[in-house]
Structure 1
Amino acid sequence: MRPAWAAIDLAALQHNLKVIRKLAGGKRILAILKANAYGHGLQRIAQALSDIDAIGVARVDEALQLRNAGITRPIVLLEGFFDASQIPILTASNIQPVIHNLRQMKELSQVENLGDPLKIWLKVDTGMHRLGLEPDQMLSAYQQLVDLPQVHDHPVIISHFACADEPEHPQNKKQIQVYADVLAQLPPSATSFANSAALLAQIVPQYDWVRPGLALYGVSPFAGQVGGDHDLKPVMNLRASIISIRKIKAGESVGYGGQWTATEDTHIGIVAIGYGDGYPRHAPTGTPVLINGVIYPLIGRVAMDMVTVNLGQKLSVKLGDTAELWGAGLAVEKVAEAVGTIPYELLCNVARRVQLDYCER
């Protein structure tokens, strides 16, 4: 028996990369590994993706962790630098920042004795209204960047969809048109727009770079679908052992607050995982848990280190059996739906104390 662990299937990761390559049609791949590779382990996932073109992370510390682990492939800093003091770190470690506001441009232009110039990705806001320059700022910003001695070559023009997980949403066509209008004003440049959802739905020309995140890990970004609908395989299999089994009589309550009460005699199993491991505390009674190929309902409140499942009157589970909270047998998309969240949150919230076991079968 053991507490929560995640079996990380690197063969599934490679399978998903092949699917993505086929959809990308030869375009370059920026693999998104932010948030500890969506909970899968930043360093090991980066090492496993040895033949992708570049890696995308959100924070400087993530990029430096990869460099310290010996990862030499290009790294793109998706949120860019937060202040000017980070710029020398980026050039020393060959990290490519995304420029998304005029303040960053000013700070970059004021850095002296930078050494090697930086490769820049320039972000345009095509309708997400989160990060990115306004479309009418792009030509001036582009020209300023290419004239700076701190900048290497021409920037990559990048944008992000607001509604790609809804392929028929009219916002997608609006953003594609804004992006095309911006590109028409600029000299020929490398481009990047398609995330996992846009790539899977084929709603946009792939341009030069595609940016798969969730799809790499075998998960669908679309409501009501699972990764298998797109020939993707789940990479994370979150598991924990059954550490206690007991019989409960009708009328007896279980767990904090006595939130769940048995309506008939039954057996319950205690699984060694809880919100301290990143399992969602708000998971309601009825959330599916897979044990020996059978779905059982979670009951009562999720505790810090344990959850309880109703094993029924006829017991077919034994002490030490393994419960799968999500994975190859129970899609994380289904669990997210039951919990009322999205699979991104479940994967990214897996706690550091959960051991990651890597398998290359």
Structure 2
Amino acid sequence: MTSTKRDAGNGVDPRIAGGELIIDLDALKANYRALAQASHPARTAGVVKANAYGLGSDVVVPALLSEGCRDFFVAMPEEGLIVRQYADDARIFVLAGLVSEDVARLYAALDLTPVLNSLEDVAIWSDFCATIGEQRPCALHVDTGMTRLGLTVPEALALAENESRRGALNIVLVMSHLACADEPEHPLNQRQLESFQRVRDAFPHIDSSLASSAGIFLGDDFHQSLTRPGIALYIGLPDAASQKPVVTLKARVVQVRAASAGEGVSYGSAVLVRDSILAVASVGYADGYLRAGSGAGVPLRGVEAAGGGGFLHGRHVPVVGRVTMDLTIFDVTDVGVDRVQVGDQIELIGENIPIERVAKAAGTIPYEILTSLGSRYHRRIIGAA
């Protein structure tokens, strides 16, 4: 049986919040269905680490459960504990691995499935299961080219051949992670697939997983029996320009002021090149609106010349000067005199400002933008749970 707990918001009063974070569950569920269809006949898991990429496990997990998702991946045990509150009957895999038998006991008590990332992890889990007299499930992570976590391919093959060591484990999933899946022509993709297939063949009749979001679109061979999309759940599929965004982020205008050409704006005093109308919005890097997205002409820039920007009353409005901790200044001159008022909301992420554009302006990726979003926004949930 599955719980359906759901938080309608985060308790921040919308009348005084500096911004609003809108999460569209219908869009999220549509993304999951599209990814599941692309993965078929493999099953599709949901990666909900980092508090469901910053959107809230409390709302994301029940939505995915309603679409039939029964496998979840988190990074840390405490994240798994939160997911378990909403998913009584799901498999919850924890990617962090083990550090001691005490941690192994914690996994068992919370009904979480550890991902074993080393021979040390294998030994800890084997010894723990022997101590309690029960072979509890685990996943085996193999490094096929990421050079991060995981047993080496030779270590995994040796484990498969050692009947006593292998027999001490209840391995329910063999997995690896692609290093260059977002570059379809990269030769490492095929090399990793070939290495993983060797390991998979050594562990027959066990679920296998290789593809995360981008890997799903490399072809059927990469799907194995379980795909595990993460970022694609939250920002949509590649080249799906017409897709409705899951996340809309808006910031409240707290002051509108006129400034003359030649005046300096914000820290570092970026010089205006024209007479301007400026809107000061209640958002900054303390809210996850990254300082690296500061406006053009600022010394810290050098990745994307135009810097960041928002959307207001049908017009793009660029960031002026440096993004500060709590405030960001936008040039709203082209919106029109007297059209911008205190209390207006500038769209920072949404249909008119794709998150990919926001990330590019800050010299980063959508993952960092989502997981950086702070707690001072009023969170509003729309769509069916």
Normalised to the residue count of structure 1, the TM-score between the two structures is 0.91
**Counterpart among 166, 177, 184 of residue 167 in structure 1:** 184
1:314-325 counterparts in 2 under 5 A?
Answer: 314-315=336-337, 316-325=339-348
Q: Which moved more, 1:61-70 or 1:99-108?
A: 61-70
Query: 1:144, 1:275 → 2: CA distance?
Result: 53
What residue is the counterpart of 1:246 in the other structure?
Answer: 257
1:1-361 counterparts in 2 under 5 A?
Answer: 2-50=17-65, 51-69=68-86, 71-111=88-128, 113-114=131-132, 116-142=134-160, 143-144=163-164, 146-148=166-168, 151-152=169-170, 154-202=171-219, 204-219=221-236, 228-229=240-241, 232-258=243-269, 260-285=270-295, 286-312=307-333, 314-315=336-337, 316-360=339-383
- The amino acid that maps onto 2:109 is A
Shift of 1:86: 1.1
Assess if the C-alpha contact under 8 Å between 1:91 and 1:117 holds in 2.
no
User: Match of 1:269, SS?
Assistant: strand
> Once superposed, what is the RMSD of the aligned Cα atoms?
2.0
Deviations 1:217-247 (A, max 9, x none): 1245xxxxx6624x65421111111111111
Shift of 1:71: 4.3
User: Match of 2:98, SS?
Assistant: coil
Query: 1:170, 1:147 → 2: CA distance?
Result: 35
Structure 1: where are the runs of 5+ without partners?
221-225
Query: 2:32, 2:86 → 1: CA distance?
Result: 22
User: Match of 2:196, SS?
Assistant: helix
Q: Which moved more, 1:64-73 or 1:242-251?
A: 64-73
Assess if the C-alpha contact under 8 Å between 1:4 and 1:277 holds in 2.
no
User: Match of 1:295, SS?
Assistant: strand
Assess if the C-alpha contact under 8 Å between 1:15 and 1:233 holds in 2.
no
- The amino acid that maps onto 1:306 is L
Assess if the C-alpha contact under 8 Å between 1:8 and 1:237 holds in 2.
yes
Change (3 A) 1:194 1:110: same
Query: 1:218, 1:227 → 2: CA distance?
Result: 11
Query: 1:13, 1:27 → 2: CA distance?
Result: 20
Shift of 1:3: 0.7
Query: 2:149, 2:218 → 1: CA distance?
Result: 23
Query: 2:246, 2:88 → 1: CA distance?
Result: 21
Assess if the C-alpha contact under 8 Å between 1:100 and 1:124 holds in 2.
yes
Deviations 1:125-145 (A, max 9, x none): 111111111111113324455
What residue is the counterpart of 2:8 in the other structure?
Answer: none
User: Match of 1:131, SS?
Assistant: coil
Assess if the C-alpha contact under 8 Å between 1:238 and 1:324 holds in 2.
yes
What residue is the counterpart of 1:223 in the other structure?
Answer: none
Query: 2:202, 2:140 → 1: CA distance?
Result: 14
Q: Which moved more, 1:41-50 or 1:54-63?
A: 41-50
Query: 1:203, 1:284 → 2: CA distance?
Result: 42
- The amino acid that maps onto 1:234 is P
Shift of 1:273: 0.6
Query: 1:109, 1:22 → 2: CA distance?
Result: 37
Change (3 A) 1:69 1:116: farther
Deviations 1:162-209 (A, max 9, x none): 000101101101111111122233333211011100113437431110
Assess if the C-alpha contact under 8 Å between 2:291 and 2:362 holds in 1.
no
Shift of 1:271: 1.1
User: Match of 1:155, SS?
Assistant: strand
Deviations 1:245-280 (A, max 9, x none): 11111111111231x121221100011110111110
Change (3 A) 1:107 1:165: same
What residue is the counterpart of 2:301 in the other structure?
Answer: none
Query: 2:211, 2:231 → 1: CA distance?
Result: 12
User: Match of 1:228, SS?
Assistant: coil
User: Match of 2:106, SS?
Assistant: helix
- The amino acid that maps onto 2:152 is E
Identity of aligned residues (%): 32
Query: 2:382, 2:178 → 1: CA distance?
Result: 34
Assess if the C-alpha contact under 8 Å between 2:280 and 2:330 holds in 1.
yes
Change (3 A) 1:185 1:65: closer
Shift of 1:39: 0.8
Query: 1:192, 1:178 → 2: CA distance?
Result: 13
Shift of 1:70: 5.7
- The amino acid that maps onto 1:269 is A
Q: Which moved more, 1:335-344 or 1:287-296?
A: 287-296
